[in-house]
Amino acid sequence: MLLRGLLSVLFAICGFTIAENTGNGTSQSVKDSPPLLLVSFDGFRADYLKQYSFPNLQKFFADGVLVDDVTNVFTTKTFPNHYSLATGLYAESHGILASHMYDPETKKEFSVANDTDPFWWNEATPIWLSVQNAGFKSAAAMWPGTDIKIQNQTATYFLKYNSHVNFEERLGNLTKWLTEDKSVRIAILYWEEPDRSGHMYGPENTTRMSKALKEVDDNIGLLMDQLNRTGLWDKINVIVTSDHGMVQCSDKKLIDLNTCLNSSVYTVVDLTPVAAIRPLNDYSSVYNKLRKCHPNMKAYLKAEMPERLHYKNNERIQPIILVADEGWTIVLDGKLPRLGDHGYDNSLASMHPFLAAHGPAFRKGYRQQSMNSVDLYPLMCKILGILEMPNNGTFNNVRCMLVNQTCTELAVVVGIVIGVLILLTTLTCLFRLMKVRDMSSSRPFARLELEEDDDDDPLLS
């Protein structure tokens, strides 16, 4: 009984509730919840925050939440990761697996420049559709997928993708939709930098990167000003994050597939740093040659992909996957295509982005070391008060970011557990000691009584 009581107290302290992640216990309905603005600055590597100065971003999270390091999903490319942020699913589950895909059944092809066929997107329900299915509206500016008729619906308000539309115009449209139509509950904004500069100059070009990152920070300042001007700041929940990081590449780190294999025996669906290979006939001969091709490239048969990558269970994953080591580039023509790249193993810190948040739902001045990018989806569903679709995220990993969640630091919980155990041990020892003393003091008295009785008997007789 005592143990059960103790455990329930501890669970209450930790704030654990078993039903928490099933998605049904929404404490706040969509109708009552403030809108949510989700912003992605493409290719914002987590440690840029330590290397460069971001006065506006600093101001943004000083009064909110900062997560230093976000483990994203494999492949660490733009489209797979933006769809994971919006669905809480690994790439193998949402079906947007890479920048270039091929579907063996329909023979359809996908690329980031040819992405409008809903076929590629329909395996998942992104959060903007869940908001619409709950009877509310969404607004989007260039976020991948939002201008496509996924399950027959685009975002309610959206801008067709056009890289020439500047940040102010994207933001201006979103704040206009948010202020003019009160039924907009989610707004979602995408910006191409610092990814573009990272690819062009490489993340180690500090002169170019500091210029690009200053512009990103200026845009964050613009975002806060605009929200203030339109009366939305402090009323709206804002999340600023990214899809992946960036690593320096070099022409000294090239893996040319043509040096290992005749190009007539296979087709390349996607090339670098994760290549998707379709052998034309003899799978095992192609695999064996690729396996020995280069010490800085791993070759996997689809069925043998490591479980941790969650990159196996989808028809669109090709029979052989090649994964280059950090900073290495797979090529077919011997030339380095980009000075910076991403897409590598998602366990690499250089591939990770950060996350910051501000608004009435979030704690103020709260800092968390890490989370998974798929955890963002259940967090957003909780904030918006909508039902979660099945997903790979864990709300408990991010619950402490929210102001309305009971949350005690792990160190405090461990301290309380140790304190309670010491107290219980002390009480047990004291109890035993008193019992022993009690017994030892009662025995002579009993014996005395007996002896007196014994003594009395002869007198009576």
Active site residue ranges: 78
Q: Least CB distance from residue 195 to Zn ion, whole Å?
A: 5
SS3 state of residue 63: coil
Dig out the tokens for 104 from the structure. Answer: 């063996």
Rounded-to-integer distance, Cα 195 and Cα 245, Å: 8
Report in angstroms the alpha-carbon separations of 329 from 78, 252, 256, 337, 406: 17, 9, 8, 8, 47
In terms of phi and psi (left: phi > 0; alpha: psi -120 to 50; beta: otherwise), the region of 241 is beta
Give the DSSP H/E element, type plus range, for residue 315. Answer: none
Tell me, what amino acid is at 295? P
Nearer to Zn ion, 33 or 76 (CB): 76
In terms of C-beta distances under 8 Å and separation of at least 24 residues, what long-range contacts does 163-169 make, across chains too?
163/192, 165/141, 167/191, 167/219, 167/222, 168/222
Residues 102/269, Cβ–Cβ less than 8 Å: yes
Q: Which residue is nearest to Zn ion (CB)?
A: 78
Nearer to Zn ion, 349 or 418 (CB): 349
Nearer to Zn ion, 20 or 47 (CB): 47
Q: Least CB distance from residue 71 to Zn ion, whole Å?
A: 16
The dihedral formed by the CA atoms of 166, 170, 171 and 173, expressed in degrees to the nearest 10? 140
Q: Is the dihedral angle over the CA atoms 263, 266, 269, 274 positive or is it negative? A: negative
Cβ burial, residue 123 (10 Å; 0-12/13-18/19+): middle
SS3 state of residue 235: coil
Nearer to Zn ion, 243 or 388 (CB): 243
Q: Least CB distance from residue 38 to Zn ion, whole Å?
A: 15
In terms of phi and psi (left: phi > 0; alpha: psi -120 to 50; beta: otherwise), the region of 294 is beta
Nearer to Zn ion, 43 or 88 (CB): 43
**Footprint of Zn ion (CB under 5 A):** 42-43, 78, 195, 243
Q: Least CB distance from residue 251 to Zn ion, whole Å?
A: 23
Q: Least CB distance from residue 206 to Zn ion, whole Å?
A: 21
Q: Least CB distance from residue 23 to Zn ion, whole Å?
A: 28
> What are residue 436's phi and psi, to 5 degrees?
-65, -45
Nearer to Zn ion, 64 or 343 (CB): 343
Q: Least CB distance from residue 105 to Zn ion, whole Å?
A: 28
Report in angstroms the alpha-carbon separations of 116 from 108, 160, 187, 268: 12, 11, 21, 22
Tell me, what amino acid is at 136? F
Rounded-to-integer distance, Cα 180 and Cα 182, Å: 6
Nearer to Zn ion, 21 or 81 (CB): 81
Q: Is the dihedral angle over the CA atoms 380, 386, 390, 394 positive or is it negative? A: positive
Nearer to Zn ion, 147 or 243 (CB): 243
Q: Least CB distance from residue 98 to Zn ion, whole Å?
A: 12
